[in-house]
Amino acid sequence: MTYLPSQHGLSGVPTTLQHLREEVGLAGEPWETLGAEWQSLGSLWLRTDTALIKSGRTDLSFKEIYESSIPDDWKQWMAAKAMKTDAKRPSELFGKVFTNYLRSLPASTHTIGGTVMDQIWSRSGRTGVIGLVLCLHWQAVYSGAGKDWHANLKLIDRIFNAILAIPEL
């Protein structure tokens, strides 16, 4: 199945995540201004999220969220979405925090046949891989889409491709 970007944002987003499209940068001004690489990653995210439905991994509980090693701003966002409330804006240092988090992941997380499914966010839905898109969007908006952002975009692309290469998905 091919997902094509629309002029107003990524089309084909599941109904359960439609309300998050603009917040995570998959619609509106970010979709229009972050460029072709961003739109390509959005389409790849959608294919990945759809594939992860087959994993049967459901949304994280509050306990799982808070015990995870993901950055605190991301945890707060997940909790806010679970409570159906607005999330606060990340700190200005978020870009560095996110880059450091991604760099701390085992190299096997983003290799074909690796350990990507060991990551707590390797699931569909609001507590899944959409968080990687959100964090990358935050990094662009609040920390500037510089060298780290481009490197992180490529890394997340590899992570999504590693998930899509899992035969049972």
Number of H helices, E strands in the chain: 7, 2
Q: State pTM to two decimals.
A: 0.94
Amino acid present at 120: I
Structure tokens at 74: 């991301």
Can you tell me the mean pLDDT for 112-134? Answer: 96
Q: How confident is the model at residue 4 (pLDDT cuts 50, 70, 90)?
A: very low
Domain extents in the chain: 5-164
**pLDDT, position 145:** 77
Amino acid present at 155: L
- Residues 14-52: pLDDT tens digits? 999 999 999 999 999 999 999 999 999 999 999 999 999
**Residues recorded for the chain:** 169
R_g of the chain computed on alpha carbons: 15
- Residues 88-97: pLDDT tens digits? 999 889 999 9
Task: Sort 101 into a burial class: Cβ within 10 Å, 0-12 / 13-18 / 19+.
Answer: middle
Kindly tell me if the per-residue pLDDT of 98 is higher than 90: yes
**pLDDT, position 8:** 82
**pLDDT, position 3:** 45
Can you tell me the mean pLDDT for 135-145? Answer: 92
Give the lowest-confidence range in 7-11, 57-61, 66-70, 116-120: 7-11
Q: How confident is the model at residue 123 (pLDDT cuts 50, 70, 90)?
A: very high
The mean pLDDT value of the chain amounts to 93
